[in-house]
């Protein structure tokens, strides 16, 4: 059974008559012990779906789902109690996620104190061990430092160590490499991959970067305008994308174009969160859109370990 099983998640804000659709219909299924990518443009609902998993949505949010389960538990009821116990989060900007006026040791200790019954000196040892596990060379010195005395990569490792300190088995990483430069970002991804193997963790990697998905995700879900449009194993998704949006995304990667040519782009804009979407959300921008695409919800298609929603008949071979 999957660790996370989400079907038909919808999150709305604002009035009943004129709601803001932050998330319209997201399906997400994450296997234990894997890194699952959640890809999409800004505003497609990636981060807010992650917030829903943590039970951190504002009170004004109206959440509904056909299924919203974590390890068999209904997250609509228990998200708050799992937060920081079984589900932890690594945020985009590690510098902002650490208190500027408290030493790292203090902040590590706060987390450990909330989650372990260890006495003080053992917590210190545990903190050192966790920092070492994230590849920090001199944990003792890091424990005595303030956040501004550490580099961005070191800060992100500290945040990862904090996430480990909670004892969580599911970690939501919200664009963990965005604030880091490329080489350090690659190191952090490698670290996450190693930790997933060593500690039987499961990671949801929220990102807009296809390279991040290609590099470290076992499987991925593509979101567009609050809809899941395609999901599957990374290699299949990248090698044989089925949904026109995924195809367009991949075509827009710099690598996909010969040197000197203009980069491919997707014409148009994502639909407004106020818009009422009758048919396929991507239809107005889709190169192969048909009349039916604007009128009826696209069917869910499945070819074994890869599923997508589109009116186009899959062409085999």
Partner 1 sequence: MRDLLKRLGWAGSISLFIIIFVALLAIFAPAVAPFPAQGLGAPNIADKLTPPSAEYWLGTDHLGRDMVSRVIYGARVSLTTGLLIVALSLVIGLPIGLLAGYFGGWIDDALMRVTDVFLAFPALLLAVLMAAAMGPGMVNATVAVAVTWWPWYARLARAEVLVLRGQPYIEAARVMGVSHGTIILRHILPSTSRPLAVQAALDFGPALLTASALSFLGLGILPPTADWGQMVNAGRAFFPLRWWYAAAPGVTIFVLALAFSVLGDALRGDDGGQGDVAR
Q: Rule CB under 8 A: which residues touch partner 1?
A: 54, 56, 59, 83-85, 88-89, 91, 93, 96-102, 106-107, 110-111, 113-115, 159, 162-163, 165-166
Of 191 and 307, nearer to partner 1 (C-beta) is: 191
What dihedral angle (degrees, nearest 10) is formed by the CA atoms of 232, 234, 239, 244?
Answer: 50
Q: Tell the smallest beta-carbon distance from residue 164 to partner 1 (Å).
A: 10
Q: Would you say 53 or 286 has its CB closer to partner 1?
A: 53
> Shortest distance, CB of residue 117 to partner 1, whole angstroms?
14
**CB 89, min distance to partner 1, A:** 4
Helix axis angle for 104-115 and 120-133, nearest 10°, is 110
d(CA 28, CA 231): 8
CB of 105 to partner 1, least distance (A): 13
DSSP conformation class of 276:
P
| Residue among 166 and 202 whose Cβ is closer to partner 1 | 166
Q: From the CB of 148, what's the least distance to partner 1, in Å?
A: 12
Task: Look at residues 170, 223, 138, 236 and name the one whose alpha carbon lies nearest to residue 35.
Answer: 170
The nearer residue to partner 1, 4 or 98, going by C-beta atoms, is 98
* Cβ distance to partner 1 smaller for residue 101 or 287: 101
Q: Which two tokens stand for residue 176?
A: 């963990």
Q: Rounded to whole angstroms, how far apart are CA atoms 254 and 251?
A: 8
- Kindly state the smallest distance separating residue 72's Cβ from partner 1, in Å: 21
DSSP string over 50-98: HHHHHT---TT-EEE-SEEEETTEEHHHHHHHHBTTTEEEE-S-HHHHS
Nearest-approach distance from CB 177 to partner 1, in angstroms:
17
Instruction: State which residue, 6 or 87, has the beta carbon closest to partner 1.
Output: 87
Q: How far apart are CA 176 and CA 91, in angstroms?
A: 6
149, two tokens: 């005395």
Structure tokens at 35: 């890194």
**Cβ closest to partner 1, residue 143 vs residue 277:** 143
What does the alpha-carbon distance between residue 222 and residue 234 come to, in Å, rounded to a whole number? Answer: 11
């Amino acid at each position: 059974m999957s660790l996370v099983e989400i079907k038909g998640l919808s999150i709305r804000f604002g009035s009943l008559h004129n709601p803001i659709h932050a998330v319209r219909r997201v399906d997400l299924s994450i296997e234990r012990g894997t890194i699952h990518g959640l890809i999409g443009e800004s505003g497609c609902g990636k981060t807010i779906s992650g917030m829903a998993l943590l039970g951190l949505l504002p009170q004004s949010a109206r959440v509904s789902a056909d299924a919203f389960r974590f390890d068999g538990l209904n997250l609509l009821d228990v998200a708050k109690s799992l937060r920081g116990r079984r589900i932890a989060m690594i945020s985009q900007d590690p510098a902002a996620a650490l208190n500027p006026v408290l030493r790292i040791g203090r902040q590590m200790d706060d987390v450990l104190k909330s989650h372990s019954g260890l006495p003080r000196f053992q917590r210190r040892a545990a903190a050192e061990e966790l920092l070492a596990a994230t590849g920090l060379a001199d944990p003792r010195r890091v424990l005595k430092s303030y956040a501004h005395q550490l580099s961005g990569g070191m800060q992100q490792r500290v945040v990862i160590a904090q996430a480990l300190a909670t004892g969580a088995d599911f970690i939501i990483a919200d664009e963990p490499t965005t604030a880091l430069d490329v080489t350090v970002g690659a190191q952090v991804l490698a670290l996450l991959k190693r930790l997933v193997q060593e500690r039987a963790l499961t990671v949801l990697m929220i990102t807009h970067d296809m390279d991040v998905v290609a590099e470290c995700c076992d499987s991925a879900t593509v979101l567009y305008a609050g809809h899941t449009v395609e999901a599957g194993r990374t290699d299949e998704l990248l090698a044989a994308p089925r949904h026109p949006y995924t195809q367009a995304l991949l075509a827009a990667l710099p690598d996909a174009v010969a040197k000197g040519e203009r980069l491919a782009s997707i014409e148009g804009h994502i639909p407004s969160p106020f818009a009422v979407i009758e048919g396929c959300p991507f239809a107005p921008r889709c190169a192969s859109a048909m009349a039916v695409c604007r009128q009826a919800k696209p069917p869910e298609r499945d070819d074994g370990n890869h599923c997508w929603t589109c009116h186009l008949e899959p062409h085999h071979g």
